[in-house]
Structure 1
Amino acid sequence: MTGWLHSWRAAVRIARRDAWRSKGRSFLVLAMIALPILGVSAADVTLRTSKPSAAEQATRLMGAADARVSDPEYGGVAVQQSPSGDMSTPADKKYDDQPPPEGRTDLRKALPAGATLLEDSTGSGKLRTAHGLLHTNIRELKAADPLAKGILTPLDGRFPERPDEVSASARFLEESGLRIGDTLTARGLDREYRITGSYEVPDDLKSVQVNALPGAFLEPLRKALDGTGAATPHISTAHLLRLPADSGRGFTWNMVKEANAKGAVVVGRAVLLDPPPDSDVPLFQREGYGSFRLSPGADRELLIATVTVVSLAMLEICLLAGPAFAVGARRSRRQLGLVGANGGDRRHIRSIVLAGGLVIGVAAAVVGTVLGLVLAFVLQPWLEELFGARFGAFDVRPLELLAIAAVAVLTGLLAAIVPAVTASRETVLASLTGRRGVRRSNRVLPLVGLGATLLGASIALYGSLVSEHFVLVAGGSALAELGIVAMTPALVGLFGRVGRLLPLSPRLALRDSVRNRGRTAPAVAAVLAAVAGTVAVATYATSDDAQRRAEYVSQLPHGAVSTLLTEDGGRDVPAVREAVQRHLPIELRADVARIAIGRPGCAPYSSEAGCGRTELIVPPANECPLWVETEEGEDPASRFSPEQRRKLADDWRCQHGDDGYVPTDDGLLVADATLLKVLGVDDPGAEKALAEGRVVSLRKRHVDANGALSLRVIPDAKAAEEAYEAKKPVPGTVKTLPAYQVRDGIRSYGVAGVLTPAAAEAAGLTTAPMGSYYTTDQPPTSEQRQRLDADLAKLGGDVVLQVEAGYESENSITLLALTVFAGLITIGAAGIATGLAQADAEADLKTLAAVGAPPRVRRTLSGLQCGVVAVMGVVLGTVAGLLPALGLRLTERRERLRWFEENRDAGYATTADLPHVPIVIPWETFGVLLVAVPLGAALLAALLTRSRAAVARRAAT
């Protein structure tokens, strides 16, 4: 045992001295291992830091209070809630089928005696800014109170101390153009407030918000707007609660349940810090709530993604470290030969090479971990702004970082095993002379690699499509990547066949790389590993963004604007149109009106005396059987078997209409053919039908087999509601109008049909102007909208303004950041790997110097050799990185499809709910990698190649 220990001590000492003697090569080897360790440790610390602890979450929610108490607005009936308070429902199950009573909960009766309360109310309103009007969240909270400390973070100035003062979020000041010291007012409120400071909301840095003292803003605004026709703010009030000092353990779960029995929802600090078991949460025992909370499919998707990413990250570390020690061992051949010449056996040589792996591994672990901590700390402010929320305290988990560092050390040892065995097998003469001898390519290894690639791909696809064992996805992807690595020498040879098509210099570089596969293949494998990670991240993120884009439901065609007003019979519609065209880049305008029954001032859905309404009748043949209620009041879907429900899910009658909002009773608009152009109705027969006096129907279910549309005119809306409740026939007359049904696939955007003013007059229908639809040259800016809101506010009416800017990707910035970050790591790995390969090819550069080649030639050859290695690594890495991303997307598709099928068989989902989980290949990212990585590696190698190289003396033969 003592001899073994002394032998290893000597080996470590020799390895340390050799590493110190060859600082350049040691630095490259260290950098190769430290680079992924840096990334993994930085990601670990960032992930832990980005999730605030339970104590930090409690502080952001309730400050220094013991609990946050709110009214769920269930009329004071007993409730059940989740421990975090994000879900609540009336405890009595009878309210599952009927609305709870109206009214508010008396929170003070639900709270312990002697508790200290601080009111926290929220609402919204339109505030006047330097540009016009800006819809703003209004929060009434005495933020300077010690009980509220931590909810809002002050940035500059101070929180309000008087009723005529407010502070504003940094985002509000940015959007509004106002500054501290300015005054602001609200639409409809004749009162000024001075801005005394700025702050941020830790959980929402993008919040457009102002803060005032309790009772100073929202209630005066509500009273000012009440009766004016403008929308009044909905005020939600909660209370921060502090228990008496002698209360003991804080607001416990039992106290929460007692407050629930009195109609209050409570989030307790003690409950957040120590949540109760699910078995003690009544809400989770109710059917549907437990499964909704747990979301096993989503949890499994997250687990699969985590395991896959971690597995591939560890594999990448091993592949990056392998070429480093292979080159290091070859550069130390003469020293190892001297050990053998002085009596050292193969065991000693293996120990020295392995000790080199240990020394570099330990150094890389320390350097990578420390730099990872620094990187996470430096990037934290930028990442917080990117994701729109402040992270928690800088969270360093020593055990996790120690495990990552241990992986670096273990990786160093494992990566040194093959070079150690290879070095120990060389003869002393070959080591001293530097001769490599004649090397033949291994014919078995490529076959083994091909088999591993096919087997790994099959396992990954099986795990994503069939099996429930998520480890198969990660294991299969890793096995396939290892298979590609094993085939790398043979694939490098195949790349050599392209040389005949290249100019002289790149052809020489390619042939040299193919001829020296021993140094080229490890470098290619290292680049492959780095690129595979980049490709996997980019493919998954791009596919997820495409899914979100497909799920987005636009309210209007892209770039379109609508302004609709239903008050006072459309009296202010001309002024609204003039304001829109003055402030927005309008291209085309389509004026619309609505059918008005009763008094001219009656609004849609009104039940006031003298007001009527209209409704479109669905022909019995067009009704979906799954929706037809029975007299017994049972669930209509329960009358059908699962097989019948599946068939009905595909029936066009049971498809949900596209989302959209038109403030009319029936969705009918009175307009000319211009509206069809604005809505993008691309049907040649539609405009002709309008000219012929027919109704253009945008919803298939309203047109009967005879091509007619039935409209019920109800003169008394209140009487109709009473008839509905009594399940009696609705009073009114039915008008049958000739209709034209547009072709399938055309969006309606909430519009059920269009008829001309002449057709409405011919049918005996009165109309009232309602507004206009517009197309724009370009999407309106925030400043233009604020100016428009300011002009519309002068009219005093409640104008429904919609601007369709299209889907705004939440992942675009994140995807860009991930791609750039991964690309930098890839370029760094490529540069280091090819630099090591060039260190191994130093003899060739010296030969060029000996025959008189100028420095430019040596730099060009060196750069092209690195570029060739990088190109091969990028191509192979792209293929290897696609597999894990495809596996993850296929797994998500299966999980979502399973959820859809369960709901479809239960009668709750139709074909319109079929999940769309696309797989999108990011060709742009591939193109950038294919150009940027080789170009960066080539330039880096050319710049680092020394201009003057000493001519080496040949060893005596």
Structure 2
Amino acid sequence: MSVAVQDPPLELGTGHGGMPARRAVIRWAWRMFRREWRQQVIVPALLLLAMVGTTVGLGIGVNAPSDAAVFGTANHLATLASTGTQLDADLAELRGSFGTVDVIAHGKKIPVSGSANGVDLRAQDPAGPYGRALLRLNQGRWPQGPDEVAVTGRVATLFHLSLGGTWEQGGQRRTVVGLVENPLNLHDAFALVAPGQIAAPDHVDVLIQASRAEVTSKPRPDGMSIQIRSDEGDTTSVVVLVLAVIGLVFVGLMAVAGFTVMAQRRLRALGMLGAIGASHRHVRLVMLANGLVVGLVGAFGGAVAGVAVWVGLSPRLESSLGHRIDRFHLPWTPLLVAVLLAAVTSVVAAWWPARAVARMPVVAALSARPAQPRPAHRFAALGGLLLAAGVVSLYLADQTRIPYVLGGVLATAVALLLLAPAGVAAVGRLARHAPLASRLAMRDLARHRSRSSAALAAIGLAIGIAAVVALSTAVTAAKAAAPTGGNLPADQIVLWLSPEATNGPVPLLTPGQAEVARKQVDAIAADLHATSVLALTGAVDPNQPMERGGKAPAVLGRPRPAGPGEPGSVMYSSTDSIPLFVATPELLAHYGIDPATVAADTDLLTPRAGVDEYDLIPGRNRNWQPKLQHATLPAYSSLPNVLITPHGMDGLHLTTMPVGWLIDAPAAVTAAQVDTIQLAAVAAGLNVESRPTGVDQARLAAQFTAAGIAVALGVLAMTVGLIRSETARDLRTLTAAGARRGTRRSLTAATAAALAACGAVIGTACAYLALLAWYHRELHWMARPPLANLAAILVGLPVVAYLGGWVLAGREARAIARQPLD
């Protein structure tokens, strides 16, 4: 007797069929993707472009200029100004406290004709434990003996040197044995000698690798200044990933539209799948599996293409970034995260259409009729609440509270997305006022609200970003054009000796270098037809150690408690400091102050009511109680606002040092004049500060506006192409009813124009509300909106979209393809 075991009957709609059913559905989804990949190429292409941009952005971010150009692989840089036996004792103390250190000695600056800044002469071990990353030999060999030197390319050009030639400086002849560079800072011009070959160094830098607690607690030499490497971590990669997420949200919105069209195209096939017993899970799994395949293809293909683009692009970025780039120095972990985010974006974008299709009755799916759109007022209500919350959060942020800023931006962006269905519904209600062809197109948008809303949200997001930049730059330009306030008057410029103006070390000039700098300033003033040139003098502590080849002038700094891991108990911010200028007779005369009216015991001249909340830096003299005398001085941030008198200088044992020159022009300095002055100043080793002219801001606004419009037009091209491909039978019906080619073109043009106009209005409105909350304390600056940019967005975009849709609509296909029942 034989026994046969029969499989139990499958009860349709009550089970899921287990793993065999899932495998069958996934295989079917994969076959459909292979057959219809041309119809789905938009989503993988967008993901590929997003991944290429993310990969290149991560590469630029991780290879951006950083503190490594100064610190090497160390995290602390100590500067010693001692000499002789005291220097040896200080170095021994540092080695005893921190173990391994790397010593870099700097000699007197080698003067350069026509420049206020000389060339750095340094003695450094090329194989040093922390500084080896700061040196690279391009030609020749490293200097070894007392009469050998290696120079950078810029130094060789300045002094007309060549490999094997002789260079005589300071009464000493040296043979050029090598051409070197700082691979982390290609703009670093220096001459390198062997360690120990600078007999009397001007100052010595010591690279140290230690924790901040060790630096604070362990003994260290007196008079030593120390710089701490900023603990940035991988913040650049995080910022790039955040921007990538924003881009993927945009791609996801387009993917939703694409998957919605695909779901509508497959609706009868999915209905047939449900008719033969597939559950809601299986129908949903078809779309999700398709989304996963599309996401993986786009993500991994984009990552490979991005790495290839980065390898080819990175050599061209070295000159702009100012340092050498390792072709394969990429943050691979963030890159993998970006790949996963791209794949997840595609799956999430496929989920909503999959959910909608799975919920459709089988009969409705077999009829291939679109599902009834959900009421738009629900989305509008939630979007309105989120928009209000975002505006309130930006209002409470007061431009300083980061959590409120992030929350406000996120809430406003999500609100913009949720308001898109309401915008599509409004387009449908306005259709009754439009001509016949436009009415059909607008009602078709409202009927297929799911795909139209996703495209509209993408357009609104792109336009909203462009509008925010345009409005913000308009505020900046308005502030620059204001007659008072800001850094400088429009008819004045300052030539600083320090690259950081009054917040950084100023190079100590020899009499010859000071004379050269003054001649360059006079030449610049002559070209500008200046009415006056005023020398600005700072106060410096003569016992202050050298810092980065110079000394920082005294400033008044507002103290704050030190944070975790910061050395000391008090910290100061360079952005909240007041520079001190010496009250020279020339400066007093320039501002109309009679020296005879200044009391003999006055320490500071200022229009401020008091400076009790500030400390004197350097020296951190918190016990100094200066005597103030009121004086009428300009209220600009970069002009003298606090003057220290000779009495104050003597009490603090300070000396004078030149810090810059103030030049008065006969009229407002134009952007072209600023560019010319910049070129002359850089050649002289000077740094120019001028009032912003607004030209750069206007250019930035125009670029972002053009980019936003271009992105919106790209979205429209893809969306309208998808929509028109799905309405081919409707177009043929209209043709059979007597509609001409112009009517068919009007349908496409009206579809594009309606989406463009609605997206422009929603994006601009959300941007305006957000910025009104952001600038609530200075709303008067928004009284001058960028009319040209707003007109380009609100009028130009719909017009271009309409014309583009009309011209590019194309002809009707000759053959009518049947919709497959795969």
TM over 0.5: yes
Q: Percent identity?
A: 21
CA distance in 1, matches of 2:159, 2:299: 49
* Cα distance change of structure 1 residues 142 and 51 upon mapping to structure 2, 3 Å threshold: closer
| Matching of residues 784-823 of structure 1 within 5 Å | 784=680, 805-806=690-691
CA distance in 2, matches of 1:821, 1:135: 41
Q: Which has the larger radius of gyration?
A: 1
CA distance in 1, matches of 2:183, 2:355: 56
CA distance in 1, matches of 2:521, 2:238: 54
Name the SS for the 2:286 alignment partner.
helix
Of 571, 575, 587 in structure 1, the residue corresponding to residue 529 of structure 2 is 587
Deviates most, 775-784 or 414-423: 775-784
Say yes or no: does 1:61 pair with 2:43.
no
CA contact (8 A) 1:556 1:804 kept: no
> What are the Cα deviations for residues 699-733 of structure 1, in whole angstroms up to 9, with x where unaligned?
xxx89xxxx666899xxxxxxxxxxxxxxxxxxxx
> What are the Cα deviations for residues 31-89 of structure 1, in whole angstroms up to 9, with x where unaligned?
3455555555654565455587xxx94x97357xx99885444899xxxxxxxxxxxxx
> What are the Cα deviations for residues 815-861 of structure 1, in whole angstroms up to 9, with x where unaligned?
99988888876665554444433433444555566678787875675
Say yes or no: does 1:127 pair with 2:112.
yes
Match of 1:423 in 2: 357
> What are the Cα deviations for residues 664-704 of structure 1, in whole angstroms up to 9, with x where unaligned?
368333xxxxx78xxxxxxxxxxxxxxxxxxx339xxx89x
Of 547, 565, 587 in structure 2, the residue corresponding to residue 667 of structure 1 is 587
Deviation at 1:138, TM superposition (A): 1.0
Say yes or no: does 1:484 pair with 2:416.
yes
Of 943, 946, 950 in structure 1, the residue corresponding to residue 814 of structure 2 is 950
User: TM (normalized to structure 1)?
Assistant: 0.56
> What are the Cα deviations for residues 790-818 of structure 1, in whole angstroms up to 9, with x where unaligned?
xxxxxxxxxxx896544599998999998
> What are the Cα deviations for residues 371-423 of structure 1, in whole angstroms up to 9, with x where unaligned?
44445555555666555455678455555444444444444343333322332
Say yes or no: does 1:213 pair with 2:186.
no
* Cα distance change of structure 1 residues 372 and 744 upon mapping to structure 2, 3 Å threshold: closer
Deviation at 1:215, TM superposition (A): 9.2
Counterpart code for 1:667: L
CA contact (8 A) 1:489 1:517 kept: yes
Say yes or no: does 1:697 pair with 2:593.
yes
CA distance in 2, matches of 1:388, 1:920: 39
| Matching of residues 333-352 of structure 1 within 5 Å | 333-342=267-276, 344=278, 346-352=280-286
Of 722, 738, 744 in structure 2, the residue corresponding to residue 836 of structure 1 is 722
Say yes or no: does 1:332 pair with 2:266.
yes
| Corresponding pairs, count | 704
Counterpart code for 1:528: G
Match of 1:278 in 2: none
Counterpart code for 2:219: N
| Matching of residues 567-646 of structure 1 within 5 Å | 580=522, 584-590=526-532
CA distance in 1, matches of 2:520, 2:16: 96
Deviation at 1:585, TM superposition (A): 1.2
* Cα distance change of structure 1 residues 853 and 378 upon mapping to structure 2, 3 Å threshold: farther
Match of 2:566 in 1: none
Name the SS for the 2:112 alignment partner.
strand
User: TM (normalized to structure 2)?
Assistant: 0.63
CA distance in 1, matches of 2:166, 2:753: 60
Say yes or no: does 1:872 pair with 2:767.
no
CA distance in 2, matches of 1:69, 1:357: 52
CA distance in 2, matches of 1:214, 1:555: 49
CA distance in 1, matches of 2:244, 2:479: 24
In structure 2, runs of 5+ residues without a counterpart are 1-14, 498-508, 543-555, 559-575, 603-629, 644-660
Deviates most, 8-17 or 459-468: 459-468
CA contact (8 A) 2:486 2:636 kept: no
Name the SS for the 1:24 alignment partner.
coil
Name the SS for the 1:23 alignment partner.
coil
* Cα distance change of structure 1 residues 920 and 661 upon mapping to structure 2, 3 Å threshold: farther
CA distance in 2, matches of 1:454, 1:9: 44
Say yes or no: does 1:8 pair with 2:22.
yes
Name the SS for the 1:585 alignment partner.
helix
| Matching of residues 162-311 of structure 1 within 5 Å | 169=152, 199-207=180-188, 209-213=189-193, 235-238=202-205, 260-263=219-222
* Cα distance change of structure 1 residues 535 and 582 upon mapping to structure 2, 3 Å threshold: closer
> What are the Cα deviations for residues 624-648 of structure 1, in whole angstroms up to 9, with x where unaligned?
xx99xxxxxxx9xxxxxxxxxxxxx
CA distance in 2, matches of 1:425, 1:804: 65
> What are the Cα deviations for residues 356-383 of structure 1, in whole angstroms up to 9, with x where unaligned?
2333233333234444444555555566
Counterpart code for 2:758: M
Match of 1:29 in 2: 43
> What are the Cα deviations for residues 881-909 of structure 1, in whole angstroms up to 9, with x where unaligned?
5677888899xx9xxxxxxxxxxxxxxxx
Deviation at 1:323, TM superposition (A): 1.8
CA contact (8 A) 1:349 1:423 kept: yes
CA contact (8 A) 1:448 1:483 kept: no
Deviation at 1:524, TM superposition (A): 0.6
CA distance in 1, matches of 2:700, 2:159: 28
Name the SS for the 1:140 alignment partner.
strand
In structure 1, runs of 5+ residues without a counterpart are 77-101, 223-233, 242-249, 273-292, 595-603, 608-625, 628-634, 636-655, 670-674, 677-695, 714-739, 754-770, 790-800, 894-913
CA contact (8 A) 2:442 2:751 kept: yes
Match of 1:151 in 2: 134
Name the SS for the 1:141 alignment partner.
strand
Name the SS for the 2:492 alignment partner.
coil
Of 298, 302, 317 in structure 2, the residue corresponding to residue 364 of structure 1 is 298
Deviation at 1:750, TM superposition (A): 4.3
Counterpart code for 1:523: A
Deviation at 1:262, TM superposition (A): 4.8
| Matching of residues 358-507 of structure 1 within 5 Å | 358-374=292-308, 377=311, 380=314, 385-388=319-322, 394=328, 400-426=334-360, 428=362, 430-436=364-370, 439=372, 442=375, 444-457=377-390, 460-461=393-394, 464=397, 470=403, 474=406, 477-495=409-427
